[in-house]
Amino acid sequence: LQLVCAGLKACSAGARDNVGRTALQVAVDAGHHDAAVFLMQRFGGWQELSLGQREQALPWLCGAGDITLVANFCNAQQWGSSSGVLARGLEAACAKDHVPVVRLLLDTYGVDAGVQ
């Protein structure tokens, strides 16, 4: 899937399958976090993700250390500080030692620091 993603051009990244999903939506639905993060970093398009897809993808972005996409996701979605998705993102960022993302989640979004 990553090789296919690498060959995509901006015009084809927005193409849709027979159900109407973009390559990004297919990657998220299939749980291909590396491909999903790659597609979001290269082409954007995350705004078309459903709430459930965004909740699935946010921890992947945090784990990838992409502070810009994490901030864009959080600003657009307005998850509450007690949101489980933000806590999962914090766990993912901590696990990969992405200190800037950890600081963003703690300082800007007030994520509960009681995460294990």
How do residues 57-70 score in pLDDT, each as one tens digit?
A: 999 999 999 999 99
* Other CB atoms within 10 A of residue 37 CB: 21
Confidence (pLDDT) at 30: 95
pTM, 2 dp: 0.83
How do residues 72-92 score in pLDDT, each as one tens digit?
A: 988 888 766 557 888 899 999
DSSP element (H, E) containing 90: helix 84-95
Q: Which tokens hold the place of 102?
A: 């950890």
Q: Which tokens hold the place of 59?
A: 């921890």
Helices (H) then strands (E): counts for the chain: 8, 0
Q: What does the mean pLDDT of the chain come to?
A: 84
Vertex 110, ends 76 and 62: CA angle to 5°? 60
